[in-house]
Each structure stands twice: as C-alpha cells, then as structure tokens.
Amino acid sequence: MARVRLEDITRRFSKSVAIADISFEVPDGEFWVLVGPSGCGKSTILRTIAGLDAATSGNLYIGDTLVNQIPARQRDVAMVFQNYALYPHMTVAENIAFGLKMRRADSNTLQERIETVAQILDIAHLLDRKPRQLSGGQQQRVALGRAIARQPQVFLLDEPLSNLDAQLRDGTRSELKQLHQRVGITTIYVTHDQVEAMTLADQIVILERGTIQQIGTPQSIYAQPQNRMVATFLGSPAMNILPVTYTGSGFAIAGQTIPCPAALQSKLVPRQQLDLGIRPEHLQISPDSGHLITEVSLSEPLGKETLVRVTLPSQRSLILNLQVSPHLNLRQGDRLPLTLDLTHLFLFDPGTGDRLYPKSY
C-alpha cells in the first residue's frame, strides 16, 4: 500500500486545459473520491495516476517514488473502468488470474488469490462461467476481483457503478465500502454522483472545469461549502439559491423581503446583489408569519417524505426545493408561506460564486 501525491499536475490538450494545478495527497490506506460534473477532468486525473496519460507538467508520487517517468505496468496500480472489459473467451477464474499470470505468479499463489477474492466478492460459484453468462453486477464484481487479486499498492476506480441499475448500484456501493474496510488499499474513486461521493469518501475532492473547488470530509463540505458550485453540487435535493438585493435590513426578492440577521447587517452594503443559499431542510412551512410567500408547483411523494417544488408568485422561473411530511396533502397552486432558518443561511458573490457569509468557520 502507498500514499499518492499530486503536485501541481496540469494536462493540456492541443486546444484546451483538461486539468490545471491539481495538488492533493491521499494518505496510505484512505478512500478518496473525486467528484464533479461530466468533463471536469476526473478521468484525466485518474489516467495520469495510472500512467495511461502523461501530465503536461507537475509531479506525481506513489509512496516515496516520483513516478512521472515510470510506465503504467510498473506503477503497481490497478484501475477499474465503467465498462468493465472482461476477456470474453476466458472464464471468471481466468479473468481474475490474468493480471497475476502476467506477473508470473506461481500456481499455488494464483489458486489462493482466486479463492480469497471470490470469497470476498461472493463470486465463488461463478468461477467457471464466461462473462456473457453473468449479469452486469456480477461482471463488475469480477472486474473488481481481477483488480484486487493483484494486491496493488493503489486502487483506481473510474465510475465503476454507473452501468448498474439503481438497486445493484446501492448494493455494490456498500460492498465496495466494506471491501475497503477489509483490505485497506489506498483507493481513488471517480464519480459524478454526489451520493456515491458522500457515502464512500474519507475525503472528497470536488472539481469543476479542471480545477479543485474544495477538499474535505463529506460532512465538512456539506456544512461549509466554499462556493456556490460546491454548495449546489452536494446535497439532494440541492441547496436553494435566491438572487436577492440587500435593502439595509433585509433581502429583497420579487417584491418580498427576507429579514437579515442583525449581526450580519453591518457587513453588507445597501443595494448589494447577493446569492442567498438555504438548504431544503432549513425551510419550514409556517402558516402564520412566513418570510416568503410561495406557491406549490410540484409535489413528489417519496414515501417517508414528500419533495415539494415551489415558486414565487411574481417570479415563476425561480424554483425552490423543500421536504415536507408525507401527511401534508399539497396541490399545485396551493399557497405556502415559508420561514427560513436564518442560522443556516449562506451568501455567495453572484459573480464569482465565492462564499461571502459565513466568512469563516
């Protein structure tokens, strides 16, 4: 096992910069998740670590070794992709053994590793089958098995669950986490799915357009997002963003005013434009004295709760998310006064998206 350290890694393609000045260090044995929208550079980072792509500049260390010039097959990393690419003419056992055979493992070691891996991944009964005789989830487990069997220093996973249906994805996700708890190989996992990031990661690296937006534990990033992109990317339903104007005592939007906490008033300038952020769980329906009068546009029962989308009567393009009790029977057009929990308010710069408030934690 080994730590992985990226130092100012940049990858330029002829016309564009795919990733810029990427620096982070994954300590030995940790599980890190790189997350961000499609095209933000996740795969490029992973391929650079694997040695399948070369950085334009920057240094990459695995353990204490600078590996910039070391070819992929000598880096002792195993990578699993979204489309698992098993060898169709080989059995499951042969597929698992393949990487080991390439490394000239003796037959006792081979047999032992195949059995261990098959047991961990619950595929022992499938060892004699060919890939086409397996379900998608089983094939993906074999692909993971092939990577684990090699006992690499570092495990790289690029959206390994995105081809699985929802139920299988949830199951395999938990298995992956348990697997990591058992074998403890340093793992870097790429996904565009914020739920996978939140549930799997020791630390999350959030990327957008080739740059790191924030690094932190799932909890700290959720509670203390550094900018609007991070704030709206993590969390489902997403944080609500209201474009408001500061009046001197409140935040005006579409003819209504949300009160501004007293402690904050001295820090703002009248007529200042702000993006006000509030998570769905910090919006309450309050029949008496709501901060905002809204109107129900869609109600989606999820069983244990109902997801409601509301608009402002004079600005219907603005949609806010909230979660309500499943017992509330809301219909389109219903008038809904909302109170914001002002202790959980965020303010972002509408231009840069940087968090202005809270200023620090």
Ligand X SMILES: Nc1ncnc2c1ncn2[C@@H]1O[C@H](COP(=O)(O)OP(=O)(O)O)[C@@H](O)[C@H]1O
Binding site for ligand X (CB under 6 A): 13, 16, 18, 36, 38-44
By CB atoms closer than 10 A (0-12, 13-18, 19+), residue 274 is: buried
183: left (phi over 0), alpha (psi -120 to 50) or beta: alpha
Judged by CB under 5 A, the stretch of 41-49, 64-72, 115-123, 338-346 that binds Mg ion is 41-49
Asked if omega into 326 is within 30° of 0 (cis), the reply is no
Indicate the residue among 20 and 231 with the shorter CB distance to Mg ion: 20
Query: How far apart are CB 239 and Mg ion at their closest, in Å?
Result: 25
Q: What is the CA radius of gyration of the chain?
A: 25
Stretch that binds Mg ion, among 36-44, 86-94, 306-314, 331-339 (CB under 5 A): 36-44
Instruction: Give the residue with the Cβ less far from Mg ion, 191 or 294.
Output: 191
| Contact between 43 and Mg ion per CB under 5 A | yes
Cis status, amide bond into 301, omega within 30 of 0: no
Minimum CB separation of residue 215 from Mg ion in Å reads 19
Nearest approach, Cβ of residue 277 and ligand X (Å): 24
Question: 97: part of which helix (H) or strand (E)?
Answer: helix 92-102
The option from ligand X, Mg ion, none interacting with 194 (CB < 5 to 8 A, set by class) reads: none
Q: Which does 204 bind (CB under 5 to 8 A by kind): Mg ion, ligand X, none?
A: none
Q: How far is 216 from 202, CA to CA, in rounded Å?
A: 8
Q: Are 48 and 74 in contact (CB under 8 A)?
A: no
**Cβ contacts of residue 96 below 8 Å, gap of 6+?**
113, 114, 117, 118, 127, 142, 145, 146, 149
Q: What is the spatial distance between Cα 191 and Cα 80, in angstroms, rounded to a whole number?
A: 12
Look at residue 325 and give the partner it binds from Mg ion, ligand X, none, a contact being a CB closer than 5 to 8 Å depending on partner kind.
Answer: none
- Residues that bind Mg ion (rule: CB under 5 A) add up to a total of 1
> Cβ contacts of residue 29 below 8 Å, gap of 6+?
1, 184, 185, 186
Residues in the chain: 361
Nearer to ligand X, 18 or 347 (CB): 18
* Nearer CB in complex with Mg ion: 46/268: 46
Residue 280 binding result from ligand X, Mg ion, none, given CB thresholds of 5 to 8 Å by partner type: none
Residues 51-110 that bind Mg ion (CB under 5 A): none
Q: Which is nearer to ligand X, 18 or 86 (CB)?
A: 18
Q: Which amino acid, 9? A: I
Look at residue 152 and give the partner it binds from ligand X, Mg ion, none, a contact being a CB closer than 5 to 8 Å depending on partner kind. Answer: none
Cβ proximity to ligand X: between 16 and 329 the closer is 16
Binding site partner of 13, from Mg ion, ligand X, none, Cβ cut-off 5-8 A by kind: ligand X
Measured CA angle at 35 (ends 30, 37), to 5 deg: 170
**CB 216, min distance to Mg ion, A:** 22
The least distance separating ligand X from the CB of residue 186, rounded to whole angstroms, comes to 20
In whole angstroms, how close is the CB of 5 to Mg ion at the nearest point?
A: 22
Decide if 43 contacts 207 (C-beta within 8 A). Answer: no
Shortest separation between residue 42's beta carbon and Mg ion, angstroms:
5
Applying CB under 5 A, the residues found at the interface with Mg ion are 43
